[in-house]
Structure 1
Amino acid sequence: MKFNKAPLPFVGQKRNFLKQFAKVLNENIDGQGEDWTIIDVFGGSGLLAHHAKQLKPNARVIYNDFDNYADRLAHIEDINRLRQQLAVTVKDIPIKSKLDKRTQSLVIEQIRSFKGYIDLGSLQTWLLFSGDILENLDQIYKESVLYNRVKKSDYPLATGYLDGVEVVSKSFDVLLPDYVDNENTLLVLDPPYLFSEQKAYRRAEEFRFISFIKLMTLIRPPFILFSNKHSEILEYLDYAIEQKDERFAGYDFCAINATISKKRTYKDYMVYKF
């Protein structure tokens, strides 16, 4: 089964780039991907790794689970169970409306007493204002206002989502040196964006400017790199080329306008070179 979006909520899952991603892979990797390795270095939701395996089933696809997303997938039944309970509690509140104090207290008590896995990524989409990020569970207990944005149906079980994909969890600077010398290894890179809101990344505090510099010293073609306008990635690459860095000479890119909420939009880039 091919998933066109991640099974569970994930900010920045790159589903808007899937057509472009598929086009670049099919134009540059022949056949079923024999003799190729494709590494989703900052794996996020695993959606790119999933599509890489669907498009090139004979390639070795490695998903570096930077945000412990695979653990979330393993608990979808618990996530659905909590969703069902909350949906009953908020059923009389209009969708996207604020919860009254009584209902909000009931919701918080249900979460506190829930015997099972609690998924922050799902909770923030159910109860916070659109685009807001839940950094920890205590935050939801302290929110002055919660909203009824509870999903009306269960999440599908992620059956087959990571079939045939190798799941690892390593720092990029530990993972990449084992593969960068292999010319048939495609690096798929979607790191936390510099100079941008990074709260959506659970481990964003581990990726700072010096991390970006280290990453850029390891990159070589072929690569697909995701970034946004605020990160000034195109300006960086152009400067590197001016400094005679041939790794980036002749790069190509495509851009889309992405929306987080009605008031929050940004330009995303997919930069690539083979």
Structure 2
Amino acid sequence: MNKQFNTSPLPFQGQKRRFVKQFKEALNVFSDSATYVDLFGGSGLLAHTVKQKYPNAKVIWNDYDNFQNRLESISETNLLLTELRSFLIDLPRKQRMEAIDRERVLRVVKAHETKYGYVDYVTLSGSLLFSAKYATNYKEFANESFYNRIKLSDYNATGYLSGVERVQNDYKALFDSYKSDTTVFLVDPPYLSTDTSSYNKDNYWKLRDYLDVLSVLDGSKYFYFTSNKSQIVELCEWIETRTMTGNPFQGSTMTTTAGTINHTASYTDIMLFK
């Protein structure tokens, strides 16, 4: 049995680590022989959790954001962090860096990118940018202030998605391919009215896109994730009472968990399943 990960092995904006316990409990409602399709695969944490819970189930992970590339680059990422630790270890933790240290960081990062042709800037952001801030390329990274939040140990994703089938496809096509009475869909689209700065920037979502996703819930077994900031549940209730359109969440079970952005801002994550 592979290690059970309760969080993504690499930093990932919007991962479902706060829902892992509730998600595993809710899986008891569903079959261990079902096919589970993670339509918006993200970090793969939901797919991993299903495979750990039900080893014999078929689990499909739609890696639209190419998280696999980050996983395959962990050894190079660890090398970069090791070099950065060599001179950041003596600096005050979580403090803003002085200009001289900031410039040294940038030189090391640029040299690493030149040598290996790739830097995982999202992972690097978790060690050097202010909490919950992410950069996806050198230009964005170099425009930020740096804080010494360097991770003190190496990353490890050994066995993380073992046995999970990886695909890269439009979620609608994937849904059409697997729709059946024996399929459970994991539906975790980027949240409406929520920062998605570390996601694929070529895939900007509008309100219509969020509403289109709801069509996959009709008649399906599903887990659906959202937050109170999106107000999508309230919108569906309004539509149901004002139009002839049904509410896709009718009859589902809701679980919530609290989240914080900083000391003055908080929100509620929502999981619905049926």
CA distance in 2, matches of 1:248, 1:146: 43
Q: One-letter code of the match for 1:164?
A: G
Tell me the equivalent position of 1:262: 263
1:120 maps to 121
Equivalent residues in 2 for 1:210-221 (5 A)?
210-220=208-218, 221=220
Aligned-CA RMSD value: 1.7
SS for the counterpart of 1:152 is: coil
Counterpart contact for 1:241–1:248, Cα < 8 Å: no
* Deviation (angstroms), 1:241: 4.1
> 1:178: Cα distance to partner?
1.4
- 2:81 corresponds to 1:83: yes
Query: TM-score, normalised to structure 1's length?
Result: 0.91
In structure 2, distance between residues paired with 1:17 and 1:204: 28
Aligned residue for 2:229, secondary structure, equals: helix
**Offset at 1:133?**
1.9
1:241-265: CA deviations, max 9, x gaps?
Answer: 4335264321221111112333442
Q: Work out the CA distance in 2 between the residues paired with 1:2 and 1:60.
A: 18
Task: For 1:188 and 1:162, locate their aligned partners in 2 and report how far apart those are by CA, in whole Å.
Answer: 16
- Could you tell me which residue of structure 1 aligns to residue 152 of structure 2? 152
- CA distance in 2 between partners of 1:227 and 1:137 (Å): 31
CA distance in 2, matches of 1:240, 1:21: 28
Q: Report % sequence identity.
A: 36
> Which amino acid in 2 is paired with 1:234?
V
- Contact 1:41–1:189 at 8 Å: present in 2 too? yes
Q: TM-score, normalised by structure 2?
A: 0.91
- Cα distance change, pair 246–212 in 1 and its aligned pair in 2 (3 A): closer
1:163 corresponds to which letter in structure 2?
A: S
CA–CA distance in 1 between the matches of 2:249 and 2:7? 30
Give the unaligned 5+ runs of structure 1.
none
More displaced 10-residue stretch of structure 1: 122-131 or 229-238:
229-238
Q: Which sections of structure 2, spanning at least 5 residues, go unmatched?
A: none
The alpha-carbon deviation at position 7 of structure 1 amounts to: 0.8
Contact 1:50 1:165 (C-alpha < 8 Å) held by counterparts: yes
Query: Counterpart in 1 of 2:246?
Result: 245
Q: Which moved more, 1:73-82 or 1:88-97?
A: 88-97
The CA deviation at 1:203 is 4.1
Q: For residues 84-107 of structure 1, what are the alpha-carbon distances to aligned partners after superposition, in whole Å with 9 as ceiling and x for unaligned?
A: 001112122101011111111111
The amino acid that maps onto 2:41 is G
Displacement after TM superposition at 1:186 (Å): 0.5
CA distance in 2, matches of 1:17, 1:76: 25
Partner of 1:2: 4
1:155-178 CA deviation, whole Å, 9 max, x = no partner? 12x111111100011121221111
Matches within 5 A, 1:69-218: 69-114=67-112, 115-116=115-116, 117-143=118-144, 145-156=145-156, 158-180=157-179, 182-203=180-201, 205-218=203-216
- Give the stretch that moved more between structures: 193-202 or 6-15: 193-202
1:54: which partner in 2?
A: 52
How many residues get paired? 266
Name whichever of 221-230 and 236-245 sits farther off. Answer: 236-245
1:39 aligns with 2:37: yes
Matched, 1:15 2:24: no
Q: Is the 8 A contact 2:129 2:147 kept in 1?
A: yes
Distance change >3 Å, CA 271–CA 160, structure 1 → 2: same
Q: Summarize deviations over 1:38-69 as a string: whole Å, max 9, x none.
A: 01111111000000011111111000012211
Post-superposition offset of 1:204: 7.0
Contact 1:258 1:265 in 2 (8 A): yes
